[in-house]
Structure 1
């Protein structure tokens, strides 16, 4: 079971961590040292993969998180507006917002579950291709067919 360990709090007790990590989440294990009878605290990082986005704690990551929340709230508001006031502007706005929302959501899943440099690069490239094809398909549907707003209205009318 993971415990929150502050490495500076164990160093003053005469214990040295075997691996110094900057994380606060650690799994404490006791490993005997060859020369001494006192055990050393072995800390293992729980999640060692590098972040795909801006570094944690940076302003860019905070703005990204805020942007995701704002887009989610906008999507909630765009549904009724698109139903009552269908227009090409709303169709293309929905196409962009839905594509971006899906791109960010799948990107978070990839960040959590895909590990290894090569696999991450392949997964991110696939995600960009999928997002591009999705946006192009929605724009094609808006231009050559009834559009997203009227298509949803037709689905609800039956």
Structure 2
């Protein structure tokens, strides 16, 4: 809706606005520099701070973002594979993908909400321990029990 309003305020060459007939309802597309709000001191300090971890250049962040998207697509592909051809390869792939997906997700929550060097180190150590125990538990379940695919199938069959 805002795009239609903004588009109608920019395109004024003999074309009437599609939804709003009055100019009072539209906002200007550009705001003068003096009229912009100045950022708050806390916001300016947060956005200008250096990253807290080593190797945090934009290329590493871009590669991490790409890896997260690839993992999400792999999880989407593993769902039908688990249904149509359950087996050890799919079970262990699901164990690795679930663990990595959870590790990255909880890591982002920790990055957002944990502050202070000691607290960050403790939280990251706890996260690595949790991820290791999760992966080991899923692998143990796959090796000594029915596996993830058949366990979900057994849950659905009840």
Same-fold status (TM-score > 0.5): yes
Cα deviation, 1:7-42, whole Å, max 9, x if unaligned, reads xx99xxxxxxxxxxxxxx94269xxxxxxxxxxxxx
User: 1:50 corresponds to which residue?
Assistant: 51
Match for 1:27 among 40, 63, 67? Answer: 40
Matched, 1:110 2:110: yes
Aligned residues: 122
CA distance in 2, matches of 1:46, 1:95: 36
Cα deviation, 1:30-60, whole Å, max 9, x if unaligned, reads xxxxxxxxxxxxx941354733364242x11
* 1:30-109 matched pairs, under 5 angstroms: 44-47=44-47, 48=49, 50-52=51-53, 54-57=55-58, 59-109=59-109
Alignment TM-score, normalising by the size of structure 1 = 0.70
Q: Could you list the runs of 5+ residues in structure 1 that have no partner in the other structure?
A: 1-8, 11-24, 30-42
Which structure has more strand as a fraction of its residues? 1
Cα deviation, 1:128-152, whole Å, max 9, x if unaligned, reads 0000000000000000000001001
Alignment TM-score, normalising by the size of structure 2 = 0.70
How far the C-alpha of 1:80 sits from its partner, in A, is 1.5
CA distance in 2, matches of 1:142, 1:96: 12
CA contact 1:54–1:60 (8 Å) conserved in 2:
yes
User: 1:33 corresponds to which residue?
Assistant: none
CA distance in 2, matches of 1:147, 1:122: 32
User: 1:140 corresponds to which residue?
Assistant: 140
Evaluate the alpha carbon distance shift between residue 53 and residue 80 of structure 1 in structure 2; reply closer, same or farther with a 3 A threshold: farther
Which structure has more helix as a fraction of its residues? 2
Q: Could you list the runs of 5+ residues in structure 2 that have no partner in the other structure?
A: 1-32
User: 1:19 corresponds to which residue?
Assistant: none
CA contact 1:91–1:148 (8 Å) conserved in 2:
yes
CA distance in 1, matches of 2:63, 2:145: 36
